[in-house]
Chains A and B, each alone.
Chain A
């Protein structure tokens, strides 16, 4: 699959998932947005050697994925696709931090490996949270929520326009790329001069399109400000969701239930 197709697929597929119906989908987007933020901040607030204390946090993505009917395989694939970055940066930890923190029999586990594992865990949790947010809410609804919580209209409309025309422009760029490829079958990437001509031309066509869109907008009475007509509805369910999630996150963060449970179990065996 070509790069353009992958991009369009991913842009569109998450939005398609967002059109399904489930208790999670029906929540107010503002509640989901805030909850995701609190989740990410709590996970990220653990210091670098924490591992087991983070594990209970998997409850959130697991429950959201199941209740939202999200495709696990797809999410894991996306996760793996972006994982290399975190691995590349995190791999320096075991290489640089040789302080042995833990011994199981003859195995010495250094702080480096522990903090590396911690980074990977954070990565999985935060990326999953982001995907879950968009897969259960959809970009348009998130933008509606952003406007309601105070993000300036100019920026929200910019987000929506960008998203709307990303598909069109990616297709155009893909067509250009394909046309080039057919005339340069042995090359993997274009030369800089080819690139600048193609992109320059694409930009000129883009401004032409901007003018046509502007004309269309003026023909329908545009006078500077665009307002979104859809309304959001906050219910008690949203308050319940937001409060209970935040309480659970903060509780997990402060009380380390993994350790408590572990102590209980090992205490029994001692």
Chain B
């Protein structure tokens, strides 16, 4: 199942105004893995995520999703395999109703009528939001928006889920529900997050970014026990490990 492997090889990226985004990032994520991407603000987490589905292209180095290198031409195909959930759900829910939003992706893939309806309802049920199908997005709570945003991506049946700060702005209950939901997903998961406790609960592996470089890449527990590393990367021990 090589088309599920995410491979970054010495990726460099600089923004048009000159600021460095990534300075030589390499890693290999295999099918079904759950990887947390942590680091200080400005470390390059969002930049890296956007490389994974072709929103940004490396100035140097390559990224492969399965056998396909990420290029302008392959971006459209790659986006069917790599689904991305954005930090601000309002950016992702732009259609008049939840149903239309979830249907947007599959519609662009050519589905219509009964088949479309089935896929949409399936995706909504998967995140527990089928009762919201006729709701306009501005009437949803933050937690509901997050779940619907995930549904919009699930409807395209991706193999790899990339998420940017999925638990931000959620109240404790919504956060708990999100964690439980993500636990049930068998997809490859790459989650950029400041929520280290979520990383601990969901991701056996963690990649630490700092200054556009990979500072560490290994088992989550080990990384969060490494005080020097945490200090260098402007991180702390997750709360659950602090009390233990």
Contacts and interface: CB of A to CB of B under 8 A. Distances in A.
Instruction: Give yes or no for direct A-B contact (beta carbon below 8 Å).
Output: yes
A163 B96 contact: yes
Interface in B69-100: 75-76, 79-80, 83-84, 86, 88, 90-92, 94-97, 99-100
8 contacts: A164-B95, A168-B90, A209-B91, A220-B153, A226-B95, A229-B99, A229-B103, A230-B99
Contact of A212 (B53, B91, B137): B91
Contacts of A209: 90-91
A229 B116 contact: yes
A216 B79 contact: no
Contact of B139 (A12, A213, A228): A12
A223 interface: yes
B105 A221 contact: yes
B152 A220 contact: yes
A220 B108 contact: yes
B99 A216 contact: no
Interface residues of B, number: 36
Given A164-B94, A221-B156, A12 B138 contact: yes
Interface in A92-149: 139-140, 143
A221 B108 contact: yes
Given A15-B136, A164-B138, 16 more contacts: A140-B97, A140-B136, A161-B94, A164-B94, A164-B96, A212-B88, A213-B91, A213-B94, A215-B50, A215-B55, A219-B53, A219-B79, A220-B79, A221-B79, A221-B80, A229-B116
A116 to B, nearest CB: 40
Closest 3 CB pairs of A and B: A221-B108, A220-B105, A140-B96
B223 interface: no
Interface string A205-229: 0000100110111111111001111
Given A160-B95, A209-B91, A229-B116, A220 B104 contact: yes
Nearest to A143: B96
Interface of B: 50, 53, 55, 75-76, 79-80, 83-84, 86, 88, 90-92, 94-97, 99-100, 103-105, 107-109, 112, 116, 134, 136-139, 152-153, 156
A19 B134 CA distance: 9
A164 B137 contact: yes
A161 B105 CA distance: 17
Interface of A: 12, 15, 19, 139-140, 143, 160-161, 163-165, 167-168, 209, 212-213, 215-223, 226-230
Q: Which of B79, B95, B97 has its CB near the most chain A CB atoms (within 10 A)?
A: B95
B244 to A, nearest CB: 38
B41 to A, nearest CB: 17
B239 to A, nearest CB: 30
B109 to A, nearest CB: 6
Contacts of A221: 76, 79-80, 104-105, 108-109, 156
A151 to B, nearest CB: 15
Nearest to B110: A221
B86 A212 contact: yes
A219 B90 contact: no
Nearest to B149: A216
A228 B156 CA distance: 17
A216 B97 contact: no
A190 to B, nearest CB: 26
B139 A229 contact: no
Given A15-B136, A167-B138, A230-B99, A218 B79 contact: yes
A144 to B, nearest CB: 9
Nearest to B82: A219
Given A161-B94, A168-B138, A223-B108, A228 B86 contact: no
A145 to B, nearest CB: 13
Nearest to A141: B96
A164 B156 contact: no
A160 B108 contact: no
Contacts of A164: 94-96, 136-138
Given A12-B138, A221-B105, A160 B96 contact: yes
